[in-house]
Amino acid sequence: MTVGLDDRQRAMLAEMGVRIWWPAQTSPPQEAPATIAEAGPNSPETIKKIAKKDPVALGIGRKSLISAPADAPPAPAAPMGPDVGVVNGLDWPELETAVAACRACGLCERRRQTVFGVGDRQADWMVIGEAPGEQEDLRGEPFVGPAGQLLDNMLRAVGLSRTAGPADAPSAGGVAPPLSPAGVYIANVLKCRPPGNRNPQPDEMAHCAPYLRRQIALVQPRLILAMGRFAVQFLLDSTEPIGRLRGQVHRYEGIPVVVTYHPAYLLRNLPDKAKAWADLRLALKTLREASGGRMAGQAARSVS
């Protein structure tokens, strides 16, 4: 149905009980959409660059971008997430800007900032967590605070680092002394903090999913470490407990996935640290086998 109807046609359709909805992916004819800059914190120049790729379809600030005429019926419920086809065409700067401006789910209302991801964008390893907590929301970086320190220690123990530079701590658990750490890229399933650190909701995960999928596609990791059950749900589409999934190699679009506990869980359940260490060793072994023995940095020497 077209939206270019005059008053007489609208009245006639109303008499017939036909309701007219604006198409979800097009702008209404009477009002120009608001600028994408109104929806996000980034510079108008940068955001306009993304807007040219079809901001309405992208779903950034969708509520403010689509404004129906005063006499239009109520908008359809809950906005859809960003358009997968558009997100799949974004490069790193565009993707980061799109996430910073995103208002596709209700988590945008109370965030201080989005938490995009951090680390080596050409890393062999990708670590995927769940959602930002309070400190991540403050800092704009995933895995900070005590859980982040534990993750950094775990990574360092196998010769990996979220930042480039020499290893600054001795290795552990029979792992060879550090050479130079290899990079790792870290991202969460959700880019905005759920209030009160509650669990991510299915609709929030669905709305945010295209961003993480695009991050994975851009990094092209050779191994993914899934930390926590929501990372597992995203990657493996499984609600099985971590304890039943760990100890084996899964696949996400052909990429090996090793499942382990979230560092925040490990801080509350110290005996399970040994299991997490076993998971790291499995990940190293898997990557080494997939690489034919060629691995970067200390990780090349780490599995005994």
Nearest CB to ligand SF4, comparing residues 117 and 159:
117
Q: For residue 168, give Cα distances in angstroms to 1, 148, 157, 178, 203.
A: 64, 16, 11, 8, 41
Residue whose CB is less far from ligand SF4, 58 or 154: 58
Interface residue with ligand SF4 among 108, 127, 154, 227 (CB under 6 A) is 108
- Site for ligand SF4 (CB under 6 A): which residue of 105, 226, 264, 300? 105
Write the CB contacts of 244 (distance below 8 Å, at least 6 apart in sequence): none
Q: Give the C-alpha separation, 119 to 160, whole Å.
A: 11
Q: Residue 102, interface with ligand SF4 (CB under 6 A)? A: yes
Q: For ligand SF4, which is the closer residue by CB, 82 or 178?
A: 82
**Under 8 Å between Cβ of 184 and 129:** no
The residues, ordered by sequence, that sit 6+ positions from 78 with a Cβ below 8 Å of its Cβ are: 203
The reply on whether position 104 binds ligand SF4 by CB under 6 A is yes
By CB under 6 A, is residue 136 in contact with ligand SF4? no
Return the structure tokens found at 256. 């090996």
Exposed / middle / buried, residue 292 (Cβ in 10 Å: 0-12, 13-18, 19+): exposed
Q: Could you say whether residue 62 binds ligand SF4 (CB under 6 A)?
A: no
Q: Does 189 bind ligand SF4 (CB under 6 A)?
A: no
What one-letter code names the amino acid at 13? L
Our finding on whether 94 is near ligand SF4 (CB under 6 A) is: no
Name the DSSP letter for residue 59: T
Binding status of residue 276 toward ligand SF4 by CB under 6 A: no
* Binder of ligand SF4 out of 57, 157, 187, 192 (CB under 6 A): 192
3-class DSSP assignment, residue 161: strand
Using CB under 6 A, which of 62, 103, 156, 229 touches ligand SF4?
103
Comparing CB distances to ligand SF4, the nearer of 120 and 204 is 204
Question: CB-based contacts of 25: which residues, under 8 Å, 6+ apart?
Answer: 56, 57, 83
Q: Output 191 or 229, the one with its CB closest to ligand SF4.
A: 191
Contact region with ligand SF4 (CB under 6 A), list: 104-112, 163-171, 266-274, 282-290: 104-112
Nearer to ligand SF4 by C-beta: 117 or 119? 117
d(CA 269, CA 89): 41
Which amino acid belongs to residue 275? K
What span, in angstroms and rounded, lies between the C-alpha atoms of 159 and 177?
9
* The one among 86, 87, 99, 299 contacting ligand SF4 by CB under 6 A: 99
Task: Estimate the crossing angle of helix 92-101 against helix 202-219, to 10 degrees.
Answer: 160
Does 56 interact with ligand SF4 (rule: CB under 6 A)? Answer: no
Q: CB nearer to ligand SF4: give 109 or 168.
A: 109
Q: Among 106-114, 167-175, 212-220, 254-262, which window interacts with ligand SF4 (CB under 6 A)?
A: 106-114
User: Quick check: 293 and 275 in contact, CB under 8 A?
Assistant: no
Letters for 200-229 (x = contact with ligand SF4 by CB under 6 A, - = none) are: ----x--xx---------------------
Q: What angle do CA 183, 187, 188 make, to 5 degrees?
A: 155
Segments of 37-154 assigned E as strands = 118-119, 125-129
Q: Does 98 bind ligand SF4 (CB under 6 A)?
A: no
By the criterion CB under 6 A, which residues form the site for ligand SF4? 81, 99, 102-105, 107-108, 114, 190-192, 204, 207-208
